Amino acid sequence: MMKAAVFEGPGRPLAIKDVPMPEIGDAEMLVKVRRCGICGTDIHASREGPFMAPPETVFGHEFVGDIVEVGAAVPGGQFAPGDRVTSLPFIGEKTIGLGEISGAYSEYVKVGHELVLKIPESLSDDQAALIEPLAVGLHSVKMAEGIAEKDVLIIGAGPIGLACAVWSRFLGARSVVLSEMVAARLEMASKLGFTDFVDAAGDVGAQFQALTGAAPAVQLECVGAPGMLQACIDRAPAKGVIMGIGVCDHPDEIEPLTAFVKQLRIQWAVGYDKEDFQYAIDMMVAGRVDASAMITNVVGLTEVPDAFEALRSPAHQCKVLIDLTR
């Protein structure tokens, strides 16, 4: 048995319980978790609605840890006990941490060897736990295509919004402006080197125009609330790009005619691939990308229920990590 923070149903805090240890298959490995990030997707999956995870789910897909057991079919010499690793959160068609496979809000997690990457010694456990959200941001910015020399608006300065901002700047955007209502998150953006902000409660388009002299050619919508997409359409210039990244699990409406007349490209982005993970690792090791400033709290497993509930309405939190070594 092992300790884990377990989802018992909507409206109930996570419970610290003893749960069975994962049993690995021949092509799988068992990892003793060091750190795991609490993701907004986990918050969404704990709410009543179409994406709610089943009761008894152990969340957690942003993790780093040490291999303790290697399956018999894992190619020899590729991995060994003691290797510090992360992994894309999939085994075959199943997802780690959203109900199908037990996640890393726990002492141990199992992974499929094909999607595992070793963590260089130069990265701390805290940095390694940011690889997954950084890969989300990288994938989303890449899907926007041709972001260099463009004026970019990031809507929402949570972990994914900040990751998108980091990669937009890295890939040569002319300007990167963040829209956010929580002052503490703008302070974190400042620590990451960003200086251009707009008040999300005001006229975002007019504020953006005043800062950059143009309308936002690319908008990365990282909030996922009804009405956000139409607001992006309204402020977009002709042939602008809108990327839907935030998870909106409620019905929404848009006016297609406005988007039609402006010839907008509206696209959703989700997830990443192994190359995104590796590129994020490489750039972190090279010192070209550092998102550590978004980490606001590191908690032990017993503190997870309270930390999880606080993230439902964050006042000062951004990325909260679970330290499973405590």
pLDDT tens by residue, the chain, 326 residues? 999 999 999 999 999 999 999 999 999 999 999 999 999 999 999 998 888 999 999 999 999 999 999 999 999 889 999 999 999 999 999 999 998 899 999 999 999 999 999 999 999 999 999 999 999 999 999 999 999 999 999 999 999 999 999 999 999 999 999 999 988 889 999 999 999 999 999 999 999 999 999 999 999 999 999 999 999 999 999 999 999 999 888 889 999 999 999 999 999 999 999 999 999 999 999 999 999 999 999 999 999 999 999 998 877 889 999 999 99
pLDDT at 51: 86
Whether residues 63 and 112 share a domain: the answer is yes
Same domain, yes or no, for 310 and 201?
A: no
Q: Compute and round to an integer the Cα radius of gyration of the chain.
A: 20
209 and 236 housed in the same domain: yes
Residue 240: per-residue pLDDT: 98
User: What is the distance, to the nearest Å, from the Cα of residue 95 to the centroid of all Cα atoms in its chain?
Assistant: 15
Residue 156 belongs to a domain: yes
Same domain, 194 and 255: yes
Beta-ladder partners of 118: 85
Q: What is the CATH number of the domain that holds 219?
A: 3.40.50.720
User: What pLDDT, on a 0 to 100 scale, did the predictor assign at position 38?
Assistant: 98
Q: What is the pLDDT of residue 76?
A: 86
Return the CATH number at 27.
3.90.180.10
Same domain, 65 and 92: yes
Question: Whole-angstrom Cα distance, residue 82 to residue 315?
Answer: 38
How many domains does one find in the chain? 2
Q: Is residue 285 part of a domain?
A: no
Per-residue H/E/C for the chain? CEEEEEECCCCCCCEEEEECCCCCCCCEEEEEEEEEEECHHHHHHCCCCCCCCCCCECCCCEEEEEEEEECCCCCCCCCCCCCEEEECCEECCEEECCCCECCCCECEEEEEHHHEEECCCCCCHHHHCCHHHHHHHHHHHHHHCCCCCCEEEEECCCHHHHHHHHHHHHCCCCEEEEEECCHHHHHHHHHCCCCCEEECCCCHHHHHHHHHCCCCCEEEECCCCCCHHHHHHHHCCCCCEEEECCCCCCCCCCCHHHHHHHCCEEEECCCCCHHHHHHHHHHHHCCCCCCHHHEEEEEEHHHHHHHHHHCCCCCCCCEEEEECCC
pTM beyond 0.85: the answer is: yes
Residue 282 domain-assigned? no
> Has residue 15 been placed in a domain?
yes
Residue 63 to residue 103: CA distance in whole angstroms:
9
Do 122 and 203 lie in a common domain? no
Domain that holds residue 316: 2-130+291-323
Q: Does one domain contain both 121 and 243?
A: no
CB 180 within 8 A of CB 220: no
Same domain (yes/no): 163, 116: no
